[in-house]
Amino acid sequence: MATKKTANRFHIQPPGELYHDALKIEAWIKGRSMASEATSLLCSALMKRKQYRDDAIAYLAQKRGIDPELLVTQILTDSAPVLTTDDYAIAVQDLDRVEPEPSPEPPTPRRGKNSKP
C-alpha cells in the first residue's frame, strides 16, 4: 500500500498583538479558523509578489552566471549556494574575459500603501 506524501509543515513566529487581532477578526468574518485564514492571506500575498520574485530570480541568476530556471531548481532542492563577496569578485574577473551581456536591473522593493519613500 502506497503512503500519501504530505506537505512539510513549518512554524512561523507569532504576529504582534495588532496583527493577531486583525487575523482573528478576518477569520471570524469569513467563518474560518485562524490557521486557515493565515494560509489564505499568505497565498494571496505571494501571488501578488510574483513579478518581484521573477525579477529577483533573474537578477540573482545573472549575477551567478546561470539560468533562472536552474537557480529556482537549486533553491527548491536546498542546493543553491550563497554568493559571498569573494565569490562574486571571482565571477566578475571571469566575466571580464568574455563579451559582456546586458544585466537585468535589481528588483525594486515594493512599498506598502502606508510606507513613506
Grid cell 546561470 in the structure block, residue: 66
Where in the sequence is the domain holding 40, given as residue range(s)? Answer: 17-48
Tell me the average pLDDT across 10-35: 95
| Confidence label for 9 from pLDDT (cuts 50, 70 and 90) | confident
Q: CA-CA distance, 50 to 16, in Å (whole number)?
A: 26
Structural domain tally of the chain? 2
Within 13 Å and on the Cβ side, how many CA atoms surround 87?
7
Tell me the whole-structure pTM to 2 decimals: 0.66
Q: Looking at the structure, tell me whether residues 66 and 37 fall in a common domain.
A: no
In a domain, 90, yes or no: yes
